[in-house]
A and B are shown apart, each in its own frame.
Chain A
Amino acid sequence: MSRSVLISDDAAFMREMLRDILTEGGFDIAAEAIDGNEAIELFQEHSPDLVMLDIVMPRKSGLEALREIMAMSPSACVVMCSALGQETLVMDALEAGARDFIVKPFKPDKVLEVVGKALEKSQGG
């Protein structure tokens, strides 16, 4: 059975790229969010197997959304999307419960590897 992923990024370009990579890799896209608030709402609505959160988003950042999602569902499987220069924020996200992170620009093999491993860890408890 395919695993479902919630994509969160304010850039349509990045959402499209992740959607293409993940569907090509056999994943279902549960929903797409354009900011942290929508990510939280869609997480509650769809209960996806994995959430991808961009760090820099309007209204509510990925880090703030991560903290709220982890408070609601401590076993949530979240992977952060970051850029070079955001190392401190990535560290904060890992400490807040993110399983892993992907640095932009996205490389399809790397995205699928990180997502697959995060879900494996999630399944293994």
Chain B
Amino acid sequence: MDLEKYRRLFVDEANDHLVEMSRALTALEGGASRQDIDEAIDTLFRMAHSIKGMAASLDYGSVSSLAHRLEDWMEPLRGSGGQPDDASLGLISKVLHGLEQMVATVDSTGEAPDPRADLVELLAEPPTLAPEQRAPEGPEKKARTYPRLLSRDRCGYGQKWSTAFSLRWAN
């Protein structure tokens, strides 16, 4: 594999993605319509997913791990039309800046950047919505606010995955 060619492609495409993600973040900050919010969230999710895949292909574990955490963090917001609050938007901004620095390190040194445990830790808390969009406080609030994360990661996962393998090997 021509590592230098792929490193160049990674730096160029990751930087393009980060510009697009910054535009999406600006759209979210501007009090967008539900459709605009959904599009911006989808862009942020897809770009994080793409950076994760490219970085993993080149063994830049610190980059792929941070992008993966951002992707997971965005997942509950996808298709919800929910406007993230200022704290969540600020966190996205910090993570984008962190990813920019990491890509710059790859560009200038050709080496894998150091991990950003501080940002990964911040992404451990789920996103919060702007006050006017929050559901009433109560014990069931989180389950209703983030149904996709719960259904994908925790409900029947093992059973479904073993079914997938059964389908595959039965042929």
Chain A residues with a Cβ under 8 A of chain B: 10-14, 16-17, 20, 56-58, 83-85, 87-88, 90-91, 94-95, 99-100, 104-106, 108, 121
Any A CB within 8 A of the CB of B56: yes
A13 and B52 form a contact (CB under 8 A): no
Any A CB within 8 A of the CB of B116: no
Report the separation of the CA atoms of residues A17 and B53 in the bound assembly, to the nearest whole angstrom: 12
Interface hub of A10, A88, A90 (most chain B Cβ within 10 A): A88
Which secondary structure dominates where chain B touches chain A? Answer: helix
- Give chain B nearest CB distance to A119 CB in angstroms: 13
In this complex, how many residues of chain B approach chain A with their Cβ under 8 Å: the count is: 28
- Give chain A nearest CB distance to B49 CB in angstroms: 5
Q: Which of B46, B52, B163 contacts A10 (CB 8 A)?
A: B46
Chain B residues with a Cβ under 8 A of chain A: 1-2, 5-6, 9-10, 13, 42, 46, 49-50, 52-54, 56-57, 68, 71-72, 152, 157, 160-161, 163-164, 167-168, 171
A106 and B57 form a contact (CB under 8 A): yes
Across the interface, name the chain B residue whose C-beta is closest to A89.
B152
Could you pull out 12 A-B pairs where Cβ atoms are within 8 angstroms? A12-B13, A13-B57, A56-B49, A56-B50, A83-B52, A87-B160, A91-B167, A95-B167, A100-B168, A104-B57, A105-B53, A105-B57
B46 and A58 form a contact (CB under 8 A): yes
A108 neighbours in B (Cβ, 8 Å): 1
B6 and A91 form a contact (CB under 8 A): no
Q: Which of A13, A56, A57 contacts B6 (CB 8 A)?
A: A13
